[in-house]
Structures are given as structure tokens and as C-alpha cells.
Structure 1
Amino acid sequence: MSVNDPAIRDLKACTQRFLEDKSAKIDDEHRYLPSFCQKIETIFYTGLRNSNKYFSRDEEPYEWMSEVVKDRSWKFPFQYKHAIYEVRRNELLKSRLGKFRLLLRYCLVNRCLHAPVEYLVKTGKLSQFYRENCILGDEILGEILLSVFLQCGTIKFDLDLNNVYFLEATWLLPDVVSFELVPSTSLGLSVTFSEDKAVVVKMDPYGPAAENGQVEIGDVLESINDVHIDSSSRGKLRCLLKKQQSLPIRLTVIKALKESNNNTLYIPLRKYLLDVNLDILQIQNRRKEVNCEDISRDVSRDGYKCVFVGSVKIGMEGDSRQIEKTIRDMMKFRYQTGEKSWSRFNKHVFFQIGEMSLRVLDSDTGKVIFDHPYMDISSCGSSPIYYNYFGYVKGNNIEDPGQFTCYIFYTKKNDDLTMMLSSIGQGFKRTTFAV
């Protein structure tokens, strides 16, 4: 074989790009990383020799790479031994191809990719594992490859080693988000299983998952409270929530769209989305539609547009009947007579409904007028007579213990009013589980 092997030449060129790219970090989104890893994989898979000692079935590089560490006559770097240990204990990857790819990623991060090749070259065991007509079966080419891998050890790879999803199918990994929701007995979403993937097919617009905003139709629910979700989880999802009722819910979700690739569909998910009858075109165009809505809708990214009419201290009763009564009294100007301490604002605001609290922002300045946790809110509601007015009651825990204040708002859109009240109600109902 020629010492100027094209595979090594390509690998050298890619390594040189990494070394010259001083401004960018070498992470999972680096444009050259998938092709770089694929070139290494091709070299390791080419020319494998069937060995009864290390191969039980088909030839796989992971077999010898993980077994040679048992050779006590050779001192392997601790980083390489630790990489082997971490890959072995990973339960999400079932195939030896997947384990090889994860081992390669560990070796890049821990700068020990040279270790297995150095073992073969220095001990003269190249021919034990590889045929002569390949890179790892030739002494000279093996030495050249070792020098390239030693050079790779000078590069800092910043890879997410926890992201192993679809690694058995492709080197291009999906976007994965992990987050917490407030304690709840329901996520407000429906999933359909395609093979071992729980695909989100429907969402309650008022549910905790929709409110959080990080889950969308077409995404894959990967884990709940660190428990992996697969086909064996059918009918057991609610049980996972009930086991930790008083604790926040931890979710890991595989996104259908890849943000670093202009929010295009993550291709390995395509067959699962088709299997559950989702409209792929609609999912792909979702982000474009959202961007257009941000410009035109009254419900902007700053919150719901409405008018903060004012607030009034209503005494020691904080149920929803007080809201209707307050709105009725306000419309009759009763509070102008001085019977109660009424603070009028009539200010245009943005009404934001968050996970743990609701906030009211001045629409002109963006300044927060107040931020009220759901745990302090006792009720919310509207008036059947004065349709566009609504409000909520908050306890005065610090200033006047046992006393309540009613906050009144006005909105032009009935749909917005319904959504805001539903979201507030869901919010303070969920937080009753918080400690």
C-alpha cells in the first residue's frame, strides 16, 4: 500500500482544519466533526480480521478496543480505561457500533484516541486484528495514523457525552433539552409509540408542558424523572409522575427540529413521525409560522396585551366571588366614595404567565409592575355581566396577614381572557404540591 493513503490524507486535512480554527470550539455542532468521525470509523472497520478470541460474531472494532485493556503487560492511560468503563455501563446503546462510536467520542474528549493504536503498533499486534492490505494492518501506515491521533490529542473537543440518542444511526446528533416542570399529576401531552420512541402527537395548550414551551408536537419524550421511556413504558407514564408527586418533574426531550441546521427536520426522526401520521411539512414550517405570529399577534413574546385597571383591598375573604363583586362595584364607581382603598392605574400592560408566578409589565417601559407567585394567589375569575373584565385575588402575607387584595384587568379578546384564567388556575393548582 502507498504511504500516501487517501483515507489518512483526508484525516490529516480535517485535523489541520481543527488546529487552524482557533475561533471556534470543536463541539457537536462543528461542521467538520461528523465527517471527521466517519473517516476514523471507516479506518477502524476496514480490514478487520476474524479472531476467535475477541469476536463472537461479526468483526467489530469495539470488541478488541475494549478487550485489550486486560493485557497487563501494557500500561494503558487511565483516561482510556475510564472511557471503556463508561461505555460499558451505558444502557441506552445496545449495538457494538453504537458503543464504538461513543468510545470514539470519549477518546476525543479525553485525548486518548492514540492509546489503542499505539498498543497495536508498539506490541506488533497489528496483524492479529487486521489484514495486511489496510491501514491498521500495515506497520508504516499504522505509525502514520498514530502520529495523526497524537496530534488530535492537542485539540480540545467539547462534546456532550450524555447525548447518545440516534448515535447508532448517524454521527449527526439531535438537539436534546432537559428541564424541570412544577409538581403535577399530568404533563398535558399525549404520545404515540413508534418502535421504541414515544413521539408527542398532541398537547394540551393549558398543560404544564405547553406552558414551559420546550416541548412541541413531533418531539420524542426520552425520559421522565431520569427513567428512560421506550415501548415497555406503555401505560406506565402516569405511574412515573405519581411516584414523586411532591417533587419537580424532570424531562428529557429529543427535538424534532435541529436549531443549528436552520430549524430543519432531524432526518432520523422522519420515519417515526410518518409512522404516527404526523404532518412533517407542518412541523418543518412551525418555526416560520411562530416568527410571523410574533409580529402580528396581540399575544406577543412579552405576554398578553391588556389594561391593568387597578387593585383594591377586599378584607379577609379571598374566594372567586369577591372578583365578580369587585368588578361590579368598580363599574358602579362605589370605590370612589372612599368605602375601600382603591388604587386606579388604567395602564396598558403585558400580562405574563410563567411557571411559578405571573408578572405584569408596563407596555411602554417593560418595567415589572409586580410579580406574584401562584402560591400567594387564592382565586381568579371574571364577571358574567362585564365580559371583558377579569382578575385574581392575592393574599397579603407580609403587610397584612390574613387580608386579601383583588387585582382587576381588562382585555378586548375573549379568547385571551379564557386562556389567561385557565393558565392562572392551572398555575396555582399545581403549586399546591410544592414544598
Structure 2
Amino acid sequence: MAPKDPLLGTLKVCVLNLQSDGEAVTDTNPHLASCCELIELVLRKGLQQPVLSLVQRDYWQCFEQLPLQDACGRFSALSLALEQSRVCRKLLSSQGRGRYLLRLALSRKVLAQFISHLLHTPRVLEWYSPVKSILRNEEFMEPFMSLLLVLTHMEFKLDMENCSFLDESWVLPVCEVYEVVPCREVGMVLRYLSGRVFVLELTPGGQADVDGYIRPGDIIDEINGTSLRNSKCGQAGVVMSRLKGCPLSIRVLRWRAHDGTVYRPLVKLLRALRTENPALQLGPASSQQSAVTERRPSPSQCLHDGRIVYIVQYLGRVNIGMFGGKEVLQNAIPQVLQKNLPSKEVLLDMKETHLTCTDRNSKKNLFQHHYPEISCVGRFSQPDYTIFAFCVADTPDPTQSTGFCCVALKAGTIKECEEIVSRIAIGFKHTEWFV
């Protein structure tokens, strides 16, 4: 009977589980971390440590020693993957770089090539024990390479930017991007701990508090592509001040894992944060976030991509001249109503950077405006308090400006009308508004 290695048997089961869905493998696949960990164990099994070196050798050093240029000195796909892993600023250890490389090789379908190249590089292969290593056992190598070839033919769609915890764990945190419109301040109190930037609390009424996207306990991983991994105290503030007046794209690592529990590598750090700040409350960042995520939509609302979208009536629009301040709304709204146009049931979707209005029946996009384009927004004072309107430039081309136009809509209830007006106004802080 041919000898068997328990690692290969377990890896085979893992690969079959990955195949079972028949879809692209993403970071949420429950078998991905186990599969990667088993490949890592195979690459570490029998790896001998140098006698006179203080640095412990890992499989990352094996890959680093591979000659990955062709005869003409050109870089191959393998060398490009290796270099991308080497320069990633979010990784601080050989373990993290090795894990990043394995994920990258799976995404680019080159993992089998890496291992094959290692097997044909004697000076590196000699680092492995001929007795213990799977890589130097001909009977084990054939089934191992077969499994790698199966993985090569599978589709892996992995978020390579979510790599800040690969130094510690194969299981990665929930990673999301928070888009912030230009504003005076985001309104976050930060705490630097173990090279990570934690959100300690949110400033009441600040942009982050109003948006309800970031929660205390979350980690700011990067801002507009600038990594904050292993950052020093105050570095996030320096980055934000440099980007003042610009839209921000903040990559956030959630303190909750995919299954809703605390992300395990953060347990000790969150405990330390609570010791320092007993008032720290982990959970939704604001009451508005709780309302958005927990309450069910009312009959005049619906869910779209996890956001509440308002079902309102589109009444029409009218040109109001060259002045778009809030004073014109009380005269502009009646001008729209006097046209007696048939109203349309529309979906009003207020995103982080802009709002869109879509015909509910035809699904046609009626208009889209970024918040900085809106000069004022307000609610009709009488007789119908559910009517609201906002003013925008009447043409997107400033060189051919024909003034401003007023867009009027009707909400389901007075409370909903006030809520919509407030959300549009907060979208860009210096927009004039009133309720």
C-alpha cells in the first residue's frame, strides 16, 4: 500500500469543498482559510533552520531565493507576484509576506508554477529535509501537485488590499470602504495601539456620526490608498490634513467578524481599549445607523444594496433664474405645482457622495446630483408639509450656465420629509437648508 500523508489527505478534502459550490472562491468562503493553512503547513514541513543564523527561516525565504527572470533578464509573472508581496507596506513579517504571496498566486493561477520552480532549484530544495519534507518525497509530490493544478483551474476573487492581519491570522476581518464627501471634518477620535488606528468614538453631529458607517472599535486601515498599518501617533491626522477639501476613501476593518462575533485577533486589543476607556461602547456608531441597519423599511421605503431608499413622488422642475439660495424655494415650489404635471412614483437613493432618482416603474434614471451641486434644500411651509425641493445648476456645463432649477418631490409623511431634507443637507456641510 502506498504511504499516505495526513496533510495531503486533509488538503484534498478542503479542495473538494472549495470546488463544491462551483462558483468563484471569495474571502467569505468558509474553506479558504483552512486550505491556505494546509498549503502553508506542507511548505513548512521539513524546512530546516540555518545553524549559525539568528533569523528563523520560513517558506517566504525559499521563494525569495528562486531565480525568476528569464534568460533575457525579463521579469516573469512569478517575479512580479513576488515583488508585489515584498513591497506591500501592510506586511511586517516573513509569515505575512508568504501568506500574501500564496493568496496572490491563487488569484493569478500561478501557485503550481511556484512550487514547480522550487522543485527545480536544487540549492533551495536542499533546505528541506529529505526524510520529513513532502517536497522531497516523490510519492507525495505527485498528489500534492495534482491538488495544486486543481486549484489553478479554479477562480479565486480575493481582496488583496485586505491583508493587514496576515501577519497574525489566515482568517481576515470584514473590510469595507467608506466614501466621504469633502467636509470640514470627519469627526473621529482615534487611538493608536500596537501599530493600528482604532476609532475610539465619533464626534456628535460630525460627518462620520451622521453617515453612521463607522463604529467605535473599527480600524482605519488606509486613507485614499495610504496605508496606516504600523503608523505612529497622529499619522492619520497628517494624512487627512493633506487631503483637506478632497473626497476621502477610507478602508475600514470591522471589529466584528463575518459570523457576527468579535474578530479573534482583536480580542486583546479591544480589551486594552476598554481598560483605558471604560465608557467605550462597541456597536452601531449612532442612532441613525441603528435605524438604518435594524429597522424594517416602512411602506414608503425599500432596501437597495443594504441601504434604505425612499419611495416618493416626483412633481417636476422649473428654472428659477440666476440665484439658487434657500430664499427662492417658497416661490419656486408653487411654480412647479402650477404646471399640474402628472406625478411619478420614484426611488430616491441618497448615497455617500450623491443622490439618484429612478422611475420606480420603468427603472429609468431621471437625474443624479452630487451633493456639492446642490445649492439649497428645504421643505414647503404650507399647505402641504410633505413637499420638499432642492436647487441645482440648470446645466452641468458651467460655461453655458442658464441659472438654477428647482426640483420638487413629495414624501409619504412629514417626518420622512424632514429626514430626507436633513440627509441631503448633511451630504455636503455648506449646503444651505431649512426645515
TM-score by length of 1: 0.72
Maintained 8 Å contact 1:200/1:219? yes
Shift of 1:85: 1.9
Shift of 1:64: 2.8
Match of 1:321 in 2: 327
Q: Structure 1's 52 and 120: CA in aligned 2 closer, same or farther, altered over 3 A?
A: farther
Cα distance in 2 for partners of 1:400, 1:50 equals 72
| SS of alignment partner, residue 199 of structure 1 | strand
Aligned partner of 1:377: which letter? I
Q: Deviations over 1:282-303 (max 9, x none)?
A: 79xx999756512458665454
1:107 counterpart = 2:105: yes
Cα distance in 2 for partners of 1:317, 1:72 equals 66
Match of 1:32 in 2: 31
Aligned partner of 1:251: which letter? I
Structure number, greater radius of gyration:
1
Maintained 8 Å contact 2:312/2:411? yes
- 1:397-412 map, 5 Å: 397=395, 401-402=402-403, 405=406, 407=408, 412=413
| SS of alignment partner, residue 84 of structure 1 | helix
Q: Deviations over 1:148-195 (max 9, x none)?
A: 465346433413333312112221222323464333343344433332
| SS of alignment partner, residue 329 of structure 2 | helix
Cα distance in 2 for partners of 1:290, 1:168 equals 34
- 1:302-321 map, 5 Å: 302-304=308-310, 316-321=322-327
Aligned partner of 1:268: which letter? P
Q: Structure 1's 346 and 281: CA in aligned 2 closer, same or farther, altered over 3 A?
A: same
Q: Structure 1's 47 and 352: CA in aligned 2 closer, same or farther, altered over 3 A?
A: closer
Q: Structure 1's 3 and 232: CA in aligned 2 closer, same or farther, altered over 3 A?
A: same
Maintained 8 Å contact 2:197/2:231? no
Hey, which of these two has a bigger chunk of helix by percent? 1
Shift of 1:90: 1.7
| SS of alignment partner, residue 249 of structure 2 | strand
Gaps of 5+ in 2: 275-279
Q: Structure 1's 300 and 207: CA in aligned 2 closer, same or farther, altered over 3 A?
A: farther
| SS of alignment partner, residue 26 of structure 1 | coil
Q: Structure 1's 162 and 379: CA in aligned 2 closer, same or farther, altered over 3 A?
A: closer
Cα distance in 2 for partners of 1:350, 1:109 equals 38
| SS of alignment partner, residue 295 of structure 2 | helix
1:48 counterpart = 2:47: yes
Maintained 8 Å contact 2:197/2:219? yes
Maintained 8 Å contact 2:324/2:375? yes
Match of 2:265 in 1: 268
The alignment-based identity, stated in percent, is 22
**Residues paired across the two proteins, number:** 413
Cα distance in 1 for partners of 2:15, 2:360 equals 52
Maintained 8 Å contact 1:182/1:247? yes
Shift of 1:422: 3.5
Cα distance in 1 for partners of 2:9, 2:302 equals 53
Deviates more, 1:80-89 or 1:219-228: 80-89
Maintained 8 Å contact 2:374/2:431? no
Shift of 1:86: 2.0
1:237 counterpart = 2:239: no
Aligned partner of 1:353: which letter? M
Gaps of 5+ in 1: none
Shift of 1:229: 1.9
Shift of 1:196: 2.3
Match of residue 376, structure 2, among 374, 379, 384:
379
Q: Structure 1's 200 and 419: CA in aligned 2 closer, same or farther, altered over 3 A?
A: farther
Maintained 8 Å contact 1:112/1:153? no
Shift of 1:253: 1.9
Cα distance in 1 for partners of 2:236, 2:230 equals 11
- 1:51-90 map, 5 Å: 51-52=50-51, 55-69=53-67, 78-90=76-88
Shift of 1:94: 0.8
RMSD after superposition:
4.7
| SS of alignment partner, residue 251 of structure 2 | strand
Match of 2:149 in 1: 151
